[in-house]
Structure 1
Amino acid sequence: MERIVLGFDGSPAAASALSWVATRAARGATTVDLVEVVSGFGGVRADAADPFDDAEELLRDRAPAAVVRRHPAVAGDPGHGGDATVDAGLYVAGIDPGHPIRSAVAATSSLRVRTIAQVPVVLVPAGWIDVGDPVTVGIADDDSSAAALAFAALEAAATAASLRLVHAWLMPTPSFEGTAALVATPADVMAEHGAILDTAATWVAAQHPTVRVERELVRDSRAAALLRFAPRSSMVVIGGRRSGRVAPGLRDSVAAGVLWDAECPVVVVPHDAALAQPKEV
């Protein structure tokens, strides 16, 4: 059974995250921990009308088989944490597209979630609606995207969506040996990076033979390459290194660059997440 923790503060972004969770919970056996968050970033004030009953009712209506558990509000400065401590398999929160980094950090640091540093974190922008676009995943040239690829492939298989593999490359700085400059040709560099996509696609085909795979080799920065496809994606999945108790990689340059402009949910998957991963991606 999947366990989803939803940080909910009654804001428009939280409503979008709630809808995302309800759709996912309806797919199969799921426990949803609805954690009431009271923050200073546009959500519900401690003295405001209670919107959490409606959130709980929506979850029960749209995912009647799910186990829904409600946790008390977390009050105070979101940067100082609160009293809610729950286990998670997936952590979901809404983000304000106008202030994505601020709201993302607030959403994840306002709870004490035991395993938040080891689980995928899904950040859903306010107003987002799923229309069945492909799942997009960034493929790095090291092992940092292995768990992200595994997560994205599972999502594509579960939703019958295609899986878009995006790998970015740039020409390396010429190296020098003696007095001669050693310059790689663009064709050689492109072929080398294309092989990284081939390896990822081969792993997906072996693990999820029914998933249709699209390959995109882009000459650009990693964040810019992913943002090209964000408007046509059901989600963008990024690998992240662990960064303490708070969600992995939210302050890293790629995740930060994508969060500023992504028009779809962004999923940050720590490299050591408990998923079956390819060994060479």
Structure 2
Amino acid sequence: MSEKLMVAVDNRGISEPVLAWLTQRRRANAGHLEVEIVTVAELGWIPANTAEIEYRKVYEHALWEARETLAAALHGAVIETTMLWGTPSEQLVGVSGRADLLILGSDKTGVVAGFVSGTLPLRVVTHSACPVVVVPAGWTAGERGVVAGVSLEPSDFAVTDFAAREAERTHGELRLVHALPIPPALLSADLIAPVTRDDVRESAEGALKVAVDDLLVRYPRLSISAYTTDIRAAQALAVEATNADLVVVGTHGRGFLRRIVLGSVSHDLLLNTPCPVAVVHNREGH
């Protein structure tokens, strides 16, 4: 399988967790692999009394070091480097269209590596032309399967298909998780609820079974499980992430709506997950 990965690094180069994630992925796919290492330097962040040429050399060295590291770890991969100037979020979004996946690390320091502590993740993830994978600090590779958060809407197709392919790639289990919505009428003691909580659960479990059956048609060798939960989606996925190698979530709607949902689920998850998170732009089903 041919794949093009884009790895964003700051002036410290590639982190150990990102290297571990890329190495694990390479072991699972011996096909043609291209990796573009990208760093973005902001002229406005040049320290006082530091010449631009010295500032540039720091990033150039980080790129060179990352390239040497990946060349040794990802046997047979074609590796190139790119240095950009400008606003990191805008530059990363601008080049994301030439990759299948954009990978970023997070340790809450630096410009790119610490992006989950600010607004950069919302801008990059929301507008990226390809799925974005965020690898948290402290993560170590394992064989713990893939978790996907689903809303049981037609637009789930992009999320579940991406998650299924990732699980199949590593021969791991795929677990679908759906957080039960609370019907407005159930929130008021003064109203007679037209449906009960059990009705909502039964309907969701039926839809989950359909989703699993549909995936098994396309991925017959995949082990798939699914369940509903009463707790918040981000919390449920963070709990599942403790026993997973990847959590996959989607962006819903467009424009302002997409940013709201991303902020309430994906962003919360990015701040709390112990394992890599992939954010996939939803599209209407097949």
Question: 1:145, 1:240 within 8 Å by CA — same for their partners in 2?
Answer: no
Question: 2:37, 2:79 within 8 Å by CA — same for their partners in 1?
Answer: yes
Find out whether 1:48 has 2:58 as its counterpart. Answer: yes
Of 263, 270, 274, 2:281 maps to: 270
Give the drift of 1:82.
Answer: 7.9
Question: Greater share of strand residues, 1 or 2?
Answer: 1
Paired residue secondary structure (1:233) = coil
Q: Report the Cα distance in structure 2 between the residues aligned to 1:120 and 1:249, rounded to whole angstroms.
A: 18
Find out whether 1:226 has 2:226 as its counterpart. Answer: no
Distance 1:104 1:164, change over 3 A: farther
Paired residue secondary structure (2:235) = helix
Q: How does 1:1-281 map to 2 (within 5 A)?
A: 1-11=2-12, 14-26=15-27, 27=29, 28-38=31-41, 46=56, 48=58, 50-71=61-82, 73-78=83-88, 81=91, 85=95, 87-96=98-107, 101-102=116-117, 105=120, 109=124, 117-174=128-185, 181-241=192-252, 251-272=262-283, 279=286
Matched residue type, 2:91? G
Paired residue secondary structure (2:71) = helix
Matched positions, count: 262
Question: 1:95, 1:104 within 8 Å by CA — same for their partners in 2?
Answer: no
Distance 1:126 1:10, change over 3 A: farther
Question: 1:137, 1:236 within 8 Å by CA — same for their partners in 2?
Answer: yes
Question: 1:6, 1:21 within 8 Å by CA — same for their partners in 2?
Answer: no
Q: Report the Cα distance in structure 2 between the residues aligned to 1:158 and 1:105, rounded to whole angstroms.
A: 29
Give the drift of 1:38.
Answer: 3.4
Cα displacement string for residues 197-248 of structure 1 (whole angstroms, at most 9, x for unaligned residues) = 112111121111111112121112221221121111101100114767xx98
Paired residue secondary structure (1:119) = coil
Structure 1 stretches lacking a partner, 5+ long: 110-115
Question: 2:252, 2:262 within 8 Å by CA — same for their partners in 1?
Answer: no
Aligned residues with identical type, % of pairs: 26
Question: Greater share of helix residues, 1 or 2?
Answer: 2
Normalising by structure 1, we get a TM-score of 0.79
Distance 1:250 1:222, change over 3 A: closer
Distance 1:243 1:34, change over 3 A: farther
Distance 1:74 1:108, change over 3 A: farther
Cα displacement string for residues 114-158 of structure 1 (whole angstroms, at most 9, x for unaligned residues) = xx6331110111221111112000011223321010010001111
Matched residue type, 1:121? V
Q: Report the Cα distance in structure 1 between the residues aligned to 2:157 and 2:128, rounded to whole angstroms.
A: 16
Paired residue secondary structure (1:239) = strand
Give the drift of 1:251.
Answer: 4.4
Structure 2 stretches lacking a partner, 5+ long: 46-53
Paired residue secondary structure (2:236) = helix
Paired residue secondary structure (1:32) = strand
Paired residue secondary structure (2:143) = coil
Give the drift of 1:35.
Answer: 1.3
Q: Report the Cα distance in structure 2 between the residues aligned to 1:58 and 1:180, rounded to whole angstroms.
A: 63
